[in-house]
Chains A and B, each alone.
Chain A
Amino acid sequence: MITIKNLHATINGKEILKGLNLTVNAGEIHAIMGPNGAGKSTLASVLAGREDYEVTEGTVDFDGTDLLEMDTEDRAREGLFLAFQYPVEIPGVSNINFLRTAINEIREYKGKEAMSAKEFMAMVREKSALVELDPKLASRSVNEGFSGGEKKRNEIFQMAMLEPKLSILDETDSGLDIDALRIVANGVNTLKSDKNATIIITHYQRLLDHIIPDFVHVLYDGKIVKTGPKELALELEEKGYDWIKEEMAL
């Protein structure tokens, strides 16, 4: 699905990613953990194509194409989805209108006809139920006046609607209470198939109680320094990141 090799990226001249390697295959869920400032969110932004970041070295292959050569919107249209750590508010634009525009742009890119209103509304009903999102929120302006939990659920709702190949969840668990966490996790688990993949970026292990990753990676100082099975997350929770730092120093 995605193969990242020796990725270096800077923002304002400061190097954040320093030779990151990662391979994710279809059907897999990967968790990326690490201390503050390790470069987790930078990785998400670079893959999604945020302009503030500059890639100075390395390659990213996304399903056979050079991801770094593609425009931001084309990456999304090819099936890369980023669930934002801080979802953005767009006043006056209904969630529905926003999503319908997105879906039809993606379909047009793929040479498909626009989705009919009926089909679209049926999909909205089905997918909003999946994340227990109040259907009323679907008619409200994008994220405007949503609670923190509603915003995160709205991200997963959008993910469900857009049916991406690769989803990157950037700290989706932050600010969620236990119930919301369960709902979000349930959404991700339901959407999982052998054709898509998920990268979960998180600080804490608690989301991983609900979404079982195939691999856990530790990102530290711009590189993946340790990879292991799901138990690694528990170990990190118990020992803290200092343990990794000490191991690195050796």
Chain B
Amino acid sequence: MSNYTENELAKDLENQEYKFGFTSDIESDTIEKGLSEDVIRFISAKKEEPEWLLEYRLTAYRGWLEMTEPEWAHVHYKKPDFQDISYYSAPNQTKKYESWDDVDPEMKATMAKLGISMEEQKRLTGVAVDFVMDSVSVATSFKSKLKELGIIFCSFSEAVQEYPELVRANMGTVVPHTDNYYAALNSAVFTDGSFCYIPKGVRCPMELSTYFRINQGGTGQFERTLVVADEGSYVSYLEGCTAPQRDENQLHAAVVELIAKDNAEIKYSTVQNWYPGDKNGLGGIFNFVTKRGICGTRSKISWTQVETGSAVTWKYPSCILKGDYSIGEFYSVAVTNNYQQADTGTKMIHLGKGTKSTIISKGISAGKSQNSYRGLVQIHKNADNARNFSQCDSLLMTDECGAHTFPYIECKNSSAKIEHEATTSKIGEDQIFYCLQRGISEEKAIGLIVNGYCKEVLNQLPMEFAVEAQKLLTISLEGSVG
């Protein structure tokens, strides 16, 4: 699968601690902690937003005040104090960069540490990157090249300014601000994110990528991503996340909306490596994310995620299969170690005829962590001949961790065909002994076995991401067999 050698892996393994735990010394424009209508007005004014968007935010906020935090997930954590978070933090630079050369050297250094050298990306891989630090999108590459094809790929704020009608027509149509507690919060206070529009019949020639980074202490990150693929178009979108090591818990509450019009295809891949907290469970990111896509006729949305980070993860990338013969896919690897908790899965809502969904979920639990798969397959009464296949596998690395599977199936059409397979296994001592006997060290053996176990999912990722994900898996499980 890769030309990434085992020696490189060995080098990576030497660096066992969370390697993105640095902070960058970039001056930020951060507002006082606390949440109120005034704060929301401040954010909106700061971003020079149109009136309708401020109204949207305020409506969401007022709704949120009436809501209560969901408790049904199989996770335990101290509820965030929403008055103790700063809702706006932007790297202190006002102008938008005309070219890469104008970017603050400190910022460039940060990106280099994250492994996104824009210059190299430009030359070698042909990935267009939008970089979101704390709350603000700081750089988007390849913009002009994409523009020739009519593709819009920019920060969310820029889209609000440049393409307000496009944003207004689509935003909140898949994840309304009334959807859930964290989606409502995000709708009220989101500061930036990415926007992408692929015109009719256009096949986006490169991977589009957003890199999210929480840098500032005491802040939360609330970004929105909106991807609209017009009829017959195709786009592959990548999302990566990291954050510095801090003793406090930081909140990340994002909303991602995907709209695949008739005959369009969106492939959305995430490698989530937010700081998971230390080995005693101190600190780490609370990752409460709402991701959902809606499919037109014969369109397809495919979610692939590799989740290794965050102290608590709560996320269910979902597909509303509204159009006839549309397809939804969910491929997931979720790794939890130490005291991490993950409650993740998907929802496949079959509305149209002949709709099809596939769910492949691989959970890996180590340390004292808890890892849950929660999925809903819903077949509505008009969804004739809908099909679903779900496979949920859990791999346990120690005796102290937990793996849980909560599959929900609701079927209102008797022509549906639904299959569900689930396995739970403990990493085999026989497998490890076999590797050791061939001269392979225990760490590498675990890396091999775990990557093999996740192969079906990793194969769905674009090449550069797959290599990155392989390394991450191995590093996350360092020394975790017991």
Contact = CB atoms under 8 A, between A and B. Distances in A.
Nearest to A76: B439
Contact of B7 (A72, A76, A90, A108): A108
B448 interface: yes
A76 B449 contact: no
Nearest to A107: B439
A48 B437 contact: yes
Contacts of A91: 452-453, 455
Contacts of A98: 435, 438, 440, 448
B82 interface: no
A73 B441 contact: yes
Given A93-B449, A105-B444, A76 B436 contact: yes
A73 B439 contact: yes
A93 B6 CA distance: 13
Contacts of B100: none
Contacts of B444: 101, 105
Given A93-B448, A93-B451, A97-B448, A105 B436 contact: no
B451 A104 contact: no
Contacts of A77: 439
Given A101-B444, A114-B5, A88 B439 contact: no
B439 A106 contact: yes
Nearest to A106: B439
Contacts of B438: 76, 98-99, 102, 158, 162
B441 A84 contact: no
Interface in B405-461: 428-431, 433-442, 444, 448-449, 451-456
B448 A73 contact: no
Given A73-B439, A102-B438, A104-B7, A92 B451 contact: yes
Nearest to B458: A92
A217 interface: no
Interface residues of B, number: 28
A60 B123 CA distance: 58
A73 B451 contact: no
A243 interface: no
B440 A101 contact: yes
Contacts of A109: 439
Contacts of A50: 433
Contacts of B431: 88-90
Contacts of A82: 437
A100 B1 CA distance: 13
A49 B436 contact: yes
A82 B437 CA distance: 7
B442 A73 contact: yes
A141 interface: yes
A97 B4 CA distance: 11
A92 B452 contact: yes
Nearest to A92: B452
Interface in A110-168: 114, 117, 141, 158, 162
B6 A100 contact: yes
Contacts of A106: 439
Given A90-B434, A92-B455, A97-B448, A73 B440 contact: yes
A117 to B, nearest CB: 8
Contacts of B441: 73, 105
A91 to B, nearest CB: 6
B344 to A, nearest CB: 21
Interface in A205-245: none
A70 B5 CA distance: 27
What does DSSP make chain B's interface, helix, strand, loop or mixed?
helix
Contacts of B455: 91-92
Contact of B439 (A84, A87, A97, A105): A105
Interface string A54-87: 0000000000000000011101110001101001
Interface in B1-44: 3, 5-7, 10
Contacts of B440: 73, 98, 101-102, 105
Contacts of A114: 5-7
Q: Tell me which of B433, B437, B439, B452 has the highest count of chain A C-beta atoms within 10 A of its own C-beta.
A: B439
Nearest to B429: A51
A156 to B, nearest CB: 14
Contacts of B435: 90, 98, 102
Contacts of B7: 104, 108, 114
Nearest to B441: A73
Interface string B239-257: 0000000000000000000
Nearest to A103: B439
A230 B350 CA distance: 71
A93 to B, nearest CB: 4
A75 B441 CA distance: 11
Nearest to A73: B436
Given A76-B439, A105-B439, A105-B444, A84 B452 contact: no
A72 B436 contact: yes
Contacts of B428: 88
A81 B449 CA distance: 21
Contacts of B448: 90, 93, 97-98, 101
Interface string A172-189: 000000000000000000
Contacts of A117: 3
A51 B5 CA distance: 29
Given A88-B431, A90-B431, A105-B6, A76 B454 contact: no
Contacts of B434: 84, 87-88, 90
Contacts of A51: 429, 433
A109 B391 CA distance: 40
A76 B5 contact: no
Nearest to A158: B438
Contacts of A84: 434, 437
Nearest to B9: A101
Contacts of B3: 117
A102 B429 CA distance: 18
A68 B434 CA distance: 18
A4 B5 CA distance: 38
16 contacts: A72-B433, A84-B434, A87-B434, A92-B453, A92-B454, A92-B455, A97-B448, A101-B444, A101-B448, A102-B438, A102-B439, A108-B7, A108-B10, A114-B6, A158-B438, A162-B439
Given A101-B444, A106-B439, 14 more contacts: A73-B442, A88-B431, A89-B431, A90-B449, A90-B452, A92-B452, A92-B454, A92-B456, A97-B448, A98-B438, A98-B448, A101-B440, A105-B439, A117-B3
The 9 closest A-B pairs by CB, nearest first: A92-B452, A93-B452, A92-B455, A76-B439, A88-B434, A102-B438, A72-B436, A106-B439, A77-B439
